Structure 1
Amino acid sequence: MTPVHFAFAGLVFAGFAALWRLLIGPTLADRIIALDLALIALMAGIAIDGANREDTTWLNLLIVIAIIGFTATVATTRFMEHKGPIDAPDEAESAS
C-alpha cells in the first residue's frame, strides 16, 4: 500500500466519525463540529487526490468548500449564541 492509501483510509475513518457524531451528537455544537470535520476530511481527500494526480483542476472547488464551511459555522454559532434570529435585538438593548 502506498502512503496515499493510508491517507485515504484515515480520511474515511474521520468521515465516519463525523457522521457518527452528526447522527448521535446530543447538542447542536456537536453537530456543527461534526460537519466541520466532514468538510475538512472531504477537502483533504480532494487535495490529496489532486496532488497524487499532479492536477490543479479542483483547487477552485477547495476554495468554495472552505468559504461555505466557514460561513456556515459562523452563522450557526451566532445563531446558537443568540438563540433566535440573527437580527433580533439583545435583551440588554431592549431593556434600556
Structure 2
Amino acid sequence: MTFGVLEGALAFGFAALGVALAMNLWRLVRGPGVTDRILALDTMVINVIGLIVLAGIAGGNGTSFEAALLLAMVGFVGTAAYAKFCLRGDIIE
C-alpha cells in the first residue's frame, strides 16, 4: 500500500485545520471580549469551509464545493449581522 503525495497533503490539511479549529474554540470560550468571540466564530466558519473543501477533494464529489460556497455566504452575513448587533443594539433599523 503506497501513501501518495495527495493523501499526505490531505492528511496534513485535515490535521492543520483540526488544530486551528481547536484553537478557535479555545478563543471563543476564553475570549476576553465580544469582538474576540466574533472573530473566533468567523475564523471557525472559514476553517470549516476549508474542511468541507478538503473532504470534497478527498471524496471526489463536486457537491461539497457548493456547500462550502453556501456556508461562506451564510457565515459572512451572520458575522456582519452579529457585529452590527454588538455596535448598535439591533440588526434591522
- Whether the TM-score (by the shorter chain) exceeds 0.5 is yes
Q: Quote the Cα distance in structure 2 between the aligned partners of 1:3 and 1:62.
A: 20
Corresponding residue for 1:51?
57
The runs of 5 or more residues in structure 2 that have no matched partner are: none
Corresponding residue for 1:85?
90
Q: Quote the Cα distance in structure 1 between the aligned partners of 2:91 and 2:55.
A: 38
Corresponding residue for 2:81?
75
Instruction: Say if 2:85 and 2:91, in contact at 8 Å, map to a contact too.
Output: yes
Q: Quote the Cα distance in structure 2 between the aligned partners of 1:71 and 1:87.
A: 13
User: Which protein has the larger Cα radius of gyration, Structure 1 or Structure 2?
Assistant: 1
**Higher alpha-carbon deviation: 36-45 or 51-60:** 51-60
4+ residue segments displaced more than 6 Å: none
Alpha carbon RMSD of aligned pairs, Å? 1.5
- Map Cα deviations across residues 57-91 of structure 1 (whole Å, 9 max, x no partner): 21221122111110111111112222x12346xxx
The runs of 5 or more residues in structure 1 that have no matched partner are: 89-96
Q: Percent identity?
A: 33
TM-score (norm 2): 0.84
Instruction: Give the number of equivalent residue pairs.
Output: 87
